[in-house]
Amino acid sequence: MGEPVGPYFFLSYARIDDSDAYVQQFYDDLCTQIIELSDGTAQVPIGFRDNSSIRIGEHWSEQLEIALAGCHSMVALYSPAYFRSAWCSREAGVMIRRAGEYFARTRRGSSALIPVLWHPVEVPQEVGHIQYLTDGFGSWYADVGLQRLLQRAPTGEDYTGAVRLIAQRVLDVVHGEDLPVPEEPLRLAREPLSFQPRTEPTRPGSTVQFFVAAGSSESAPGHRRGAPYYGQAGLDWNPYHPQEEYPLYQQAQRLVTAQGYGTAYREVGSGLNRQLNQAWRDDQVTILLVDAWSAPEPPYRQPLEQFDRTEHPATGVLVPCHPREERDREELWSRVGDVFERKSSRGVHDRQFQLRVCFDDFKKALGRMVSAAQNNLIRKRTAVVAPGDDGDDGPVAARPILRGPSGGPQGGTRAGGSPGSANRPPAPRSPRWSGGRAHIPYDPYAFDPYPYPHTPQDPFDGRREGGPGR
């Protein structure tokens, strides 16, 4: 076996984590930091990343296997997606095997596999012995992961300090260890797994995706700039300060993950409806966490109004309220109602549209919202769709609102209905038979939280053990 002659590090990551260019930015920052720490004496190539290091015309798998066999170290971006990937499991397995051969030859342990917490995740037992958290990375790193630190402040000390520590660990391995290179050509597809890849949850609604619509300390409405509820980015929004120290999406994540749900998060953007449609097809619950002050303002008003005009049965909207500053501001809530015109017309009993949610009510409101949205996904999964009906290709266009002389939702008669029925859901259609099985037309206005035989408990009720799918 020879000594490593390849790149200083091999970047191992799940492809799904590379959807928003943060992996590339981290890779570039790490290469730059290694050059700076080595006073410009570092040899090229510094790193290997499949999308960046393989030239057009080169055989993709062959170049990846050569780099993996000859690299000095591996930087592995731990995330839920990473531990679902068989390819990532095999890549890590190659480095673990090379480290074992190094120990057999030198009787010294190796630090060549350098884990990085990209997104918070429970690490499998098979690789749990490899240290991936250190005091030098700070508490925020353990709480939110490196990708979030990069997204929040790419030039901030939390992120740049973590990259510096990772770069130093790479250089320590380069100068202190010579991992053996396999004598036989590497065939990654035949390599054993270092951990058993986790399977995607199959029960509808077992993943909850949060979308945040809130300004930052710089972009919030003028009179709100500098308020303690906002941070450097919209995701830092914390309407329940000082009762809670963490941003709202993290509070929500903490509640749902404690019940066994998977989670993801992002900011509301112009592609909101498209993203919600994809989540619907993927059987995911989606929750919009909306700042009442930011919703009527650019850039959030337009995508939120477009959302309101379309039916999204597996999506909830939760608008928090600080009781001291916001609860009784009727003009503010009137403007929010203008943005969510259709959903506001349904009244206060819609579990998937909750306004003025104070801190003490947040847990219960979120739990009921997730439960209602999840059960709508179960309806979609179990209904037999007849030709010509709305299937699960995506949510359907919203029903129109009838208006009275004042311009508001009509309080008299819905077309074909009775007085006072304008805000009530339509009567369900009778089931018919399709292919010998009962066809149940999907009704997005039905919010019975427990339509199928199971224990009717609030998913966030502390008396319940476990969570969805357990």
At 238-280, the pLDDT tens digits run 999 888 888 999 899 888 877 778 788 899 999 999 999 999 9
Q: Residue 433: beta bridge partners? A: 438
- Which pLDDT score is estimated for 202? 57
Average pLDDT for 342-369 = 91
Whether residues 217 and 122 share a domain: the answer is no
Q: What percent of the chain has pLDDT over 70?
A: 76
Is the Cβ–Cβ distance between 145 and 79 less than 8 Å?
yes
Indicate the number of domains in the chain. Answer: 2
**By residue range, what is the domain housing residue 91?**
9-190
Would you say residue 195 lies in a domain? Answer: no
CA distance 397 to 401: 12
Instruction: Name which of 3-12, 87-96, 295-304, 407-416 the model is least confident about.
Output: 407-416
Whether residues 160 and 263 share a domain: the answer is no
CA distance 378 to 41: 59
Whether residues 123 and 215 share a domain: the answer is no
Whether residues 235 and 294 share a domain: the answer is yes
Average pLDDT for 336-362 = 91
The torsion angles phi and psi of 438, rounded to 5 degrees, stand at -65, 130
Would you say residue 157 lies in a domain? Answer: yes
Q: What is the dihedral of CA 364, 367, 368, 371, to 10 degrees?
A: -170
Would you say residue 2 lies in a domain? Answer: no
Whether residues 416 and 305 share a domain: the answer is yes
Highest averaged pLDDT of the listed ranges 127-136, 236-245, 290-299, 340-349: 290-299
Instruction: Name which of 11-25, 96-110, 232-246, 430-444 the model is least confident about.
Output: 430-444
pLDDT tops 80 at residue 237: yes
Sign of CA dihedral 72, 78, 83, 86: negative
- Classify burial at 49, counting beta carbons within 10 Å of its beta carbon; exposed 0-12, middle 13-18, buried 19 or more: buried
Per the model's pLDDT, the better-predicted residue between 224 and 384 turns out to be: 224
Whether residues 347 and 272 share a domain: the answer is yes
Alpha-helix runs per DSSP H in 282-424? 301-308, 330-339, 341-344, 359-382
CA distance 40 to 34: 9
Give the pLDDT band (50/70/90) at residue 21.
confident
Whether residues 156 and 208 share a domain: the answer is no
Give the pLDDT band (50/70/90) at residue 200.
low
Bridge-based pairing of strands 113-117 and 9-12 is: unpaired
Would you say residue 1 lies in a domain? Answer: no
CA atoms within 13 Å, Cβ hemisphere of 123: 17
- Which pLDDT score is estimated for 20? 67
Peptide bond into 45 cis (omega under 30): yes
In 3-state terms, what secondary structure has residue 366?
helix
Whether residues 182 and 285 share a domain: the answer is no
Would you say residue 331 lies in a domain? Answer: yes
Last residue of a domain, one of 190, 216, 233: 190
Whether residues 284 and 234 share a domain: the answer is yes
CA distance 26 to 32: 10
Radius of gyration (C-alpha) of the chain in whole angstroms: 26
Bridge-based pairing of strands 432-434 and 437-439 is: antiparallel
* Helices vs. strands in the chain: H and E counts, helices first: 13, 11
- Which pLDDT score is estimated for 417? 37
Last residue of a domain, one of 190, 214, 246: 190
CA distance 402 to 414: 7
Give the N- to C-terminal CA distance of the chain in Å, as an integer.
Answer: 47
Q: Following DSSP, what letter does each residue of 52-84 receive, concatenated?
A: HHSPTTS-HHHHHHHHHHH-SEEEEEE-TTGGG
CA distance 238 to 342: 27
Would you say residue 196 lies in a domain? Answer: no
Whether residues 182 and 215 share a domain: the answer is no
Identify the CA nearest to 314 among candidates 281, 338, 362. Answer: 281
Q: Name the average pLDDT for the chain.
A: 78
Whether residues 311 and 449 share a domain: the answer is yes
Which CATH number characterizes residue 154's domain? Answer: 3.40.50.10140
- Which pLDDT score is estimated for 419? 38
For residue 318, give Cα distances in angstroms to 197, 357, 368, 404, 450.
34, 7, 11, 28, 21
Last residue of a domain, one of 135, 170, 190: 190
pLDDT tops 90 at residue 2: no
Average pLDDT for 311-338 = 88
Whether residues 451 and 358 share a domain: the answer is yes
